Amino acid sequence: LEGNGAAVSGELEIRFATEDGFSFDWNRTLNVLSGAIPVLEFQQIALPDGTSADHPLGVPYHPVGGLGFDLAWSIENLGSTTWRPTTSLEVPDEDWTSSCTAPTALASGASSMIWCTVVIPLSAEAGSEPIITLVMEGEGVEISYPISLLVEHVDRVAWRLISQPSAHEGYATTLQIEVENTGNSQISDILQVTGTDGWNPLILDGVVVNLMPGEVRTLQLGFTPHTGSDGTLIVSIVDTQGIIEDSSLTLEIDVLPAATSQESSTLLMVVIAIVIVGLIVGGVYMYSRRDDSSSLVSTDSLNKIADSFGLSGQEEEETSGIPCWICSGDIIVGEAWACSECGARYHKDGQVPGCDIVSMGNCLHCDSSTDDLIEA
């Protein structure tokens, strides 16, 4: 006997007969037993923000990355025997992450819930509709339930400053910045830069940015600080729709003041000292002429006063007028380092305490290696 899938239990009667008319009947009650008959139905989708629906496409989109989202199915065994299945979730590729909690045995007439957590990778194309399938299999019985998803659009960038965030008063400075598309959709927009008043910042190599997912572009940012005060630069993607994450980068720039301000202060002190000494000498001279007596202030005393102001007959030391990019003091022509790329000058090690460009490794103006320094 072989059932057709619709057989039910009941009375089975068999009659045996011969050609001469003899016969007898055999009756038995036949119990029809079915195997496991699983019925799988989708129940719910739950997103991390609290959104939920009873249909896979009942939410606006399916989020990428993060903690993922939860999917729920119900399973019921309509068969007459216990079913012991294994459960898995088939996903598009190995970049996807999934885990499921499901029953390992389901008695006749019993039902249970299956929960699966799915994390869509950032590599999934924005707006695509991949299919995932829940599969339960055991004891020769298999059932599956495929659903379609809608991948979220992620517009996001990451910034990296390559150059050192420093500049010298009055000198044009160039910074190198990398911007990377860390989302899953193309970014096509305009770059802009703002900064401290008077710095006139500019993007030197084009303001249009087109980045595919994972693509990186290097930007050249130029500016000239006209004061010795530190300042701020902000480079950003215009993003008129307000959908790009981390669309701007703020840079705090350390400005090294020019040496001229220090020289002016020193010159002012020298002038004041000369006036004071002149008044003292003039007063002593007038007093000595009136009384025709020896000076009240000895020559040694006057010399000591002059020495205290550096005016003891020594000629003022001439300066080069070329500032060091580290300490802003004048360098010594013929005994200094110069960057072969941009010409920035530096003291040699030992000339000024704490001023050593070689130990820093890179030019503060153009970020070239100190291996390229030349004597100047």
Q: How far is CA 111 from CA 74, 320, 348, in A?
A: 7, 91, 82
Long-range (24+ apart) CB contacts under 8 A made by 192-196 are 192/235, 192/236, 192/237, 192/238, 193/221, 193/233, 193/234, 193/235, 193/236, 194/233, 194/234, 195/223, 195/231, 195/232, 195/233, 195/234, 196/225, 196/229, 196/231, 196/232, 196/233, 196/253
pLDDT range class, residue 293, cuts 50, 70, 90: very low
Query: Which residues belong to CATH 2.60.40.10 in the chain?
Result: 38-148, 157-256
139-159 pLDDT, tens digit each = 889 999 999 999 999 999 999
Cβ contact 36:60 at 8 Å: no
Q: What is the pLDDT of residue 276?
A: 82
Give mean pLDDT, residues 294-302: 53
Specify which residues 216 forms β-bridges with: 180
Q: What is the pLDDT of residue 110?
A: 96
pTM exceeds cut of 0.85: no
Name the one residue in this structure whose structure tokens are 């399973």.
75
Q: Is the pLDDT of residue 289 over 70?
A: no
Q: What is the pLDDT of residue 315?
A: 43
Q: Is the pLDDT of residue 5 over 70?
A: no
80-125 pLDDT, tens digit each = 889 999 999 999 999 999 999 999 999 999 999 999 999 999 999 9
Q: Is the pLDDT of residue 309 over 80?
A: no
Q: Would strands 52-53 and 141-148 be described as parallel, antiparallel, or unpaired?
A: unpaired
Q: Which CATH number fits domain 321-376: 3.30.40, 1.10.3470, 1.10.3230, 1.10.8?
A: 3.30.40
Q: Which CATH number fits domain 157-256: 4.10.80.40, 3.40.710.10, 2.60.40.10, 1.20.210.10?
A: 2.60.40.10
pLDDT range class, residue 304, cuts 50, 70, 90: low
Q: What is the pLDDT of residue 326?
A: 86
**What CATH topology corresponds to 38-148?**
Immunoglobulin-like (2.60.40)
Question: Radius of gyration (Cα) for the chain, nearest Å?
Answer: 44
pLDDT range class, residue 8, cuts 50, 70, 90: confident
Q: What is the pLDDT of residue 323?
A: 87
Average pLDDT, the chain: 86
173-183 pLDDT, tens digit each = 999 999 999 99
Q: What are phi and psi of 236, to 5 degrees?
A: -150, 165
